[in-house]
Structure 1
Amino acid sequence: MKNNSFMGSFHLPSRPNLDVREIDISNNQIQGEIPLNISMTFPYSTWLFLSGNNFEGEISNVHFSGFSYLSILDISNNNLSGKLPRWTKNLLGLVELDLSNNHFDGSIPEEFCYKADLWLLDLSHNNLSGSLPHCASLPSPYLSHIYLSKNRLNGLLTHSFLNISSLETLDLGENSLSGSIPKWISNLSSLSILRLKGNLFFGEIPNEICELDQLRIMDLSHNQLSGHIPSCLAHLIGAPNSFSSWGLTIKSSTLNLDTSNLDTSTEMEARLMQEVYTQLDSHIQDWIELVTKWWSYTYEGNILDYMSEIDLSCNQLTGLIPLAIGNLSYIHSLNLSHNNLTGSIPSTFSNLKQLESLDLSFNDLNGEIPSQLTELNFLAVFSVAHNNLFGPIPYGKGQFGTFDSNSYEGNALLCGAPLEKGCEDSFELQPKVPNSLNEKREGSLIDMDVFYISLLVTYVVVLLSIGAVLYINPYWRQAGFI
């Protein structure tokens, strides 16, 4: 019944206790409220998909807790409102909870911290406010993906996720969280995606973030971070075949249950849960919203196995770009734009052979564009606009033949195609730097010659002046000057 154009309200059959395992009416145009007694009608359901409709009203009183075997509850992309429910802790087998893209408000209840089997929690794109719940003692050994982006959450990270070593995705982007990025971030040893974009974080990027050896997507853009770019970031993002699987792998040892000594009802329950968990691995997929190649896209599923990105743009970072960043040979997108970075563009960037997007615009970079960058054969987006670069553009070779003048605007001393200014016309404007020690010595010899000539001319002028005065004034001549 999914992906149709069904309209109207959701009516339940009059017969209760129907043995229906999966209910999927997603992506229709069904409206009205979710029936309060839905769990009484389908008590054995394991998957409930109501997403992509026009359901409205509050869900705090809906009897979802009556589902005995519910593993996936997806009511995202509707018009639901009110406070988040507190009955989630009663859904003992719940693995995925998706309430995203609704109008829920208020704070996140701490009951969400006590879901021992939860793997995916998505509360993004709502109007949630307040601070993050204190989930430091979260008992779940499986929680892998947390999405809280595009809400109105505030306060510090404190120790909210301190002990969730299984966490692979942490998306807190586009909230009002503040403070520094905590050093305990290194405890999240399985983290693959860290998205803190669009908050109020300040201070330096902690070196502890470099200990996340599984990290391949890091978006810290649009904050107030300062200080230098840690050179240890060069240790992140390894080869794709070194990444752990993003599928929510079920440990078979926990599912191959011995049913020989169980009664009939308990055995049926065990086999039912075995079936549910076997199917979950193919259903639950991670996703993330990224800005790459100047456009915002949502990526999900297996494609993320091959994505890698570092975005530090729109902060207050200073200093040189570390040469070691050129060791990120498997990175696909690097954005350092809109900071206060100085120095030259490292020629080591030529080692970024998989790079598809490089944005260094709106900084204080100087020097020439390294000609070695023409070796980046996959580069589709490139910008060094609004810096202090000079010299010829390495244009016309490889991908550099595809970039237009917008990639270089705001650098008065750059020349050559695709700019209208030729390098022969701008030579006099370029900084004069001595080419060798001989040139420096030659300049010094010329300066000494000028000095001696000036001294001789001054001496002659003084003698002539004295003679003229004595000739004009006879009293001085009589006084013995002549």
Structure 2
Amino acid sequence: MTSLTTLSLWGNSLSGPVPLSIRRLTQLIELDLSHNNFSGVITGKHLSKMTNLETVDLSSSSLRLIINTNWLPPFKLRSADFSSCRLGPNFPKWLKWQTHISDLDISNTSIADKVPVWFWHVFSKTSILDVSNNNLSGQLPKTLEYMSASRINLEYNNFYGSIPRLPKSLYTINLSGNTLSGPLSLNFEDLIQLRVLVLKENSFNGSIPQSLCKLQHLQYLDLSKNSLAGKVPLCLHKNANATHQNLLGFGSSPLSSLSSSIIILNLGYNNLSGRFPLFLKGCSSLVLLALENNNFFGSIPSWVGKKLATLRILSLRYNRFSGPIPSQLSELSQLQVLDLGQNNFCGHIPPSLKTLNQMVRSHNFHQLDMKNVRQNISDADPFWVESEQNLNSIEFGSLKVDTKGLELQYGDGIKYWTSFDLSCNNLTGGIPEDLGLLVGLMNLNLSRNKLSGNIPNNIGSLQLLESLDLSNNELSGIIPSSLAALTFLSYLNLSYNNLSGKVPSGHQLQVLDDPSIYEGNPGLCGFPVLSECTENNMSKHYVSKKEMDDGMVSFYVGASVGFLIGICLVYGAIFKETWRVAYFRCFDNLYDRVYVCMFVNWAKFTRN
């Protein structure tokens, strides 16, 4: 087939080596062998006669490219995708001659080398540049302004130094997972096209610059896992005639354009402080808000439920938020992950949270559809219309979730998760029965509070539940038998409460046989706890401190009344003649009845 110009075999289960005879396809313009199970190597000889080759895609094909450092390629590529092949460990020098490439992807290719100086200049006209998930090292250039790239991905390498000045044409920049440091002193307001800014997992310090507020089209901002400190910028319009009320965010249109465009905001794992960021009041398209592991304080504003109506994930874990949990959170009908753990919230769990519709769904359609999110922003946005690949490039980053007794790191899979976590606070009162209506929950964690009362009987309605933690509270009564109906349950912790009675058995509970699940509940008996169930411990009623206090009061009142009645009877029997006669007459009658009964029974016994 020597006249072939396109050979596309992607997405099959082809295996074995790529034959050397492929070099006879001298007219080939496009070669796509991606997403197969090939083995072996491709050398310069395979490609030595393909002078017309413009597009090559060997991604996800398990191939290894071994090309001599002095090899001069006979072609000028316009698009090259070698992701998940093996190009390393040395940086492929033959790329130096590919000055016409517009799309280059050499991510996850086992390169462990310094990036040569020529690299940034050779690919200065490249539109998409992805060198992520390698072991590349070196300091980034001071400026990349001369590049015309729209998307640059350098994540998870060993680059160090500060952020260079970036191309004004950028739509997406991802520098996460490196050792970049210093303050975020970049003048972000020049990046007027920027949609995605991901700088997580570095060592940036200082405060968040006010210039970020000028990014009118920014939709995804992830600054998590750095050392940023101070307050979050207000992101308000600088209007000299604005009133004080407007500057506080309560007037008409006081918020910058950043507010209306942002979809994903992750500021977790820094040293940020202050109250709940006020500029979020204008974030009508926000889907994920993560402020966990910071020093935020104060209460959650009541406007969150109404102003952040599209919110799917809310993580405020490990802060110093306080006050009651606002009932207005129930207006977040799209919420599928609520994590308020490790704060200072007090009061009762609002029963109104039963209206969290996304947690009420019993099917597995919890995942976020990024196409719908795009429509909420702008169908005319060229960044989204350009390619469906842009939709797939938006990820939720990584969040830690306290589930199954561990802090588990969830990546993009968090979009498929449903969780309700109020652990490690100062919540009181009972567990609302209405929580049993959240049948779509996979994780329920109410541990380490001061909750009292019984475990709701309808807890068995949470059929998708995988992890249930109610430990370290003041819950009392029996364990509902409906727990045995939770067939997906893989983690259960009811330890250190005041629960009593027999541990229910059957179905999934037979697998959860670790006695520590029920530790600290002396009133429990049966498998797997050590105490056997008897009539005594089954009839025992372990009560809370309040119930014990009420019982003692009743006992003392009853004893006092009985004592007074007894004194009256004794007094009457001794000093009042008619009472005394009646007393002894009653005693004589009782004696006669007992005597006759005993005599009759004795007679029957001797007769037999």
TM-score normalised by the shorter chain: which range applies?
0.7 to 0.9
- Find the partner of 2:337 among 206, 217, 220: 217
Which whole-Å CA distance do the structure 2 matches of 1:69 and 1:459 have between them?
108
- Find the partner of 2:134 among 28, 46, 49: 28
Which whole-Å CA distance do the structure 2 matches of 1:155 and 1:432 have between them?
44
Deviations 1:234-268 (A, max 9, x none): 111232547752457545996779xxxxxxxxxxx
Determine if the alignment matches structure 1 residue 70 to structure 2 residue 170: yes
Which whole-Å CA distance do the structure 2 matches of 1:457 and 1:398 have between them?
65
Worse-matched range after superposition: 11-20 or 309-318: 11-20
Deviation at 1:310, TM superposition (A): 0.5
Counterparts in 2 of 1:398 and 1:13: CA distance versus 1, 3 Å: same
Determine if the alignment matches structure 1 residue 354 to structure 2 residue 464: yes
Counterparts in 2 of 1:86 and 1:432: CA distance versus 1, 3 Å: closer
SS in 2 for 1:6: coil
Match of 1:56 in 2: 160
Q: What pairs up with 1:38-57 in 2 under 5 angstroms?
A: 38-40=144-146, 43-57=147-161
Worse-matched range after superposition: 291-300 or 235-244: 235-244
Match of 2:411 in 1: 300
- The sequence identity of aligned pairs, in percent, is 34
Query: Normalization by structure 2: what TM-score?
Result: 0.65
SS in 1 for 2:435: helix
Deviation at 1:111, TM superposition (A): 1.3
Counterparts in 2 of 1:256 and 1:340: CA distance versus 1, 3 Å: closer
Deviation at 1:122, TM superposition (A): 0.5
Determine if the alignment matches structure 1 residue 200 to structure 2 residue 320: yes
- Find the partner of 2:308 among 168, 182, 188: 188
SS in 2 for 1:365: strand
Gaps of 5+ in 1: 258-269, 434-443, 464-482
Counterparts in 2 of 1:103 and 1:362: CA distance versus 1, 3 Å: same
Counterparts in 2 of 1:420 and 1:255: CA distance versus 1, 3 Å: closer
SS in 2 for 1:374: helix
Counterparts in 2 of 1:322 and 1:79: CA distance versus 1, 3 Å: same
Which whole-Å CA distance do the structure 2 matches of 1:35 and 1:432 have between them?
69
> Larger C-alpha radius of gyration, 1 or 2?
2
SS in 1 for 2:136: strand
Counterparts in 2 of 1:278 and 1:452: CA distance versus 1, 3 Å: closer
Tell me, yes or no, if the aligned pair for 1:247 and 1:285 is still in contact at 8 Å: no
- Find the partner of 1:337 among 444, 447, 468: 447
Tell me, yes or no, if the aligned pair for 2:285 and 2:376 is still in contact at 8 Å: no
Which whole-Å CA distance do the structure 2 matches of 1:425 and 1:417 have between them?
16
Tell me, yes or no, if the aligned pair for 2:321 and 2:345 is still in contact at 8 Å: yes
Tell me, yes or no, if the aligned pair for 2:384 and 2:390 is still in contact at 8 Å: no
Determine if the alignment matches structure 1 residue 400 to structure 2 residue 509: yes
Match of 2:266 in 1: 147
Counterparts in 2 of 1:216 and 1:253: CA distance versus 1, 3 Å: closer
Deviation at 1:360, TM superposition (A): 0.5
Worse-matched range after superposition: 124-133 or 30-39: 30-39
Which whole-Å CA distance do the structure 1 matches of 2:204 and 2:332 have between them?
33
Deviation at 1:274, TM superposition (A): 7.1
Tell me, yes or no, if the aligned pair for 1:132 and 1:160 is still in contact at 8 Å: no
Tell me, yes or no, if the aligned pair for 1:107 and 1:131 is still in contact at 8 Å: yes
Deviation at 1:461, TM superposition (A): 11
AA paired with 1:294? G
Counterparts in 2 of 1:185 and 1:345: CA distance versus 1, 3 Å: same
SS in 1 for 2:354: helix
AA paired with 1:206? P
SS in 2 for 1:414: strand
Deviation at 1:377, TM superposition (A): 1.6
SS in 1 for 2:118: coil
Deviation at 1:33, TM superposition (A): 1.2
AA paired with 2:130? D
Which whole-Å CA distance do the structure 1 matches of 2:108 and 2:470 have between them?
43
AA paired with 1:175? N
Which whole-Å CA distance do the structure 1 matches of 2:376 and 2:570 have between them?
99
SS in 2 for 1:86: coil
Which whole-Å CA distance do the structure 1 matches of 2:156 and 2:181 have between them?
15
Counterparts in 2 of 1:18 and 1:248: CA distance versus 1, 3 Å: farther
Deviation at 1:19, TM superposition (A): 2.6
SS in 2 for 1:154: strand
Tell me, yes or no, if the aligned pair for 2:477 and 2:542 is still in contact at 8 Å: no
SS in 1 for 2:474: coil
Which whole-Å CA distance do the structure 2 matches of 1:324 and 1:252 have between them?
31
Gaps of 5+ in 2: 1-105, 237-254, 544-557, 578-608
Tell me, yes or no, if the aligned pair for 2:287 and 2:313 is still in contact at 8 Å: yes
- Find the partner of 1:282 among 385, 392, 404: 392
SS in 2 for 1:340: coil
Worse-matched range after superposition: 385-394 or 141-150: 141-150
Which whole-Å CA distance do the structure 1 matches of 2:182 and 2:377 have between them?
41
Aligned residues: 429
Deviation at 1:320, TM superposition (A): 0.9
Which whole-Å CA distance do the structure 1 matches of 2:496 and 2:181 have between them?
45
Tell me, yes or no, if the aligned pair for 1:158 and 1:182 is still in contact at 8 Å: no
Q: RMSD value over aligned CA atoms?
A: 3.0
Query: Normalization by structure 1: what TM-score?
Result: 0.82
> Higher relative contact order at CA 8 Å, sep ≥6: structure 1 or structure 2?
1
AA paired with 2:401? L
- Find the partner of 2:541 among 410, 431, 434: 431
Counterparts in 2 of 1:123 and 1:256: CA distance versus 1, 3 Å: closer
Determine if the alignment matches structure 1 residue 4 to structure 2 residue 109: yes
